[in-house]
Amino acid sequence: MLKPNDNKENMDNLNFIIAPEEAGKRVDKVITARLGEGYSRVFAQTLIRKRLVLINGKPAKASYPAELLDEVSVTIPPAEKNDLRPEDIPLKILYEDASVVVIDKPAGIVVHPGCGNMTGTVVNALLYHCGNLPEADGEMRPGIVHRLDKDTSGVMVVAKNDRALRSLSKQFQNRTVKKRYIAVVRGEVPLDSGVIEAPIARSSSDRKKMGVEFERGKNAVTKYKVIKRMKTMTVLSVDIETGRTHQIRVHMKHIGHPVAGDPVYGKAQEAPRQALHAEMLSFTNPENGKTMEFTAPLPEDMKKLIEGK
């Protein structure tokens, strides 16, 4: 779903010429500034990806450095109808105010609807609880500023209004949000701590998978510490400086210690489910500017795995 804010729905195109102060800047940044408040850089990038931005008559690339007097044409499609249904699905709420709601997501539930999966998601539950959520860019994911995989449990934050959505999105983009995970991985990790720096990109052979790609991947940094050694597994505390799709799972596989129970990058039979839990999340509250930190305790299935039960 590609939908601008309600107060901008009548804008269907934007044509302009690159001014001197815009020359040399990435075109996605220029477009974001031109569209004004209520439109994010992600929205501009989505338009570019859908070939709705032309520069001198040719489809643009987000990273293109704008040149003086370039002619830019931006087409903004009409808002699409949001057919998402609120559903009375229980939520474990850790915190809520006028701007945000922080939840402890259980494993086994998808964060937002997608193709063939329109119900039973966190978003459906939040729409029932909150009544309304701000539209995010590019997909049917109102209020969502970050995601956890279906089989990853733990803490996540959701925006309840447009201002919070913009603030939290910017915090994630600027990497000021702090995230810590607990992961149970296969084998004995030799070092007590380490840093994995390996760029990640979507697999060229399987579009559902990610992988370490040194030539075309995006920078990704994962830090880990061993908190317990088991006979055939190791329990890690993991901090991620970047938020690439499947980052921890891909990096753990890259060093030869895939997440236990991971059906994509490891072996599903090693654990009841993908043994990855988002333990802590820290961000600046858009409502009052205060730094807030939330933790989600280990769920019972991971406790039993770590205790060997």
Residue 308 pLDDT > 80: yes
Domain with residue 257: its CATH number is: 3.30.2350.10
Region of residue 233 (left: phi > 0; alpha: psi -120 to 50; beta: else): beta
pLDDT of residue 125: 95
| Residue 7 or residue 107, greater confidence | 107
The two tokens of residue 72 are: 């830019």
pLDDT of residue 280: 98
Q: Among 41, 75, 109, give the residue marking a domain's end.
A: 75
The alpha-helical segments, DSSP class H, found in 36-161 are 41-49, 122-130
pLDDT of residue 6: 39
Q: pLDDT tens digits for 47-59?
A: 999 899 999 999 9
Q: pLDDT tens digits for 206-243?
A: 778 899 999 989 999 999 999 999 999 999 999 999 99
Count of H-run helices and E-run strands, the chain: 6, 15
- CB 84 within 8 Å of CB 127: yes
State the total domains in the chain.
Answer: 2
Confidence of residue 137 (pLDDT cuts 50, 70, 90): low
Catalytic site positions: 149
Q: What DSSP designation does 258 have?
A: P
Q: How large is the average pLDDT for residues 248-277?
A: 96
Domain with residue 69: its CATH number is: 3.10.290.10
- CB 183 within 8 Å of CB 253: no
- d(C-alpha 156, C-alpha 280), whole Å: 9
Range(s) of the domain holding residue 41? 6-75
Q: Among 18, 47, 75, give the residue marking a domain's end.
A: 75
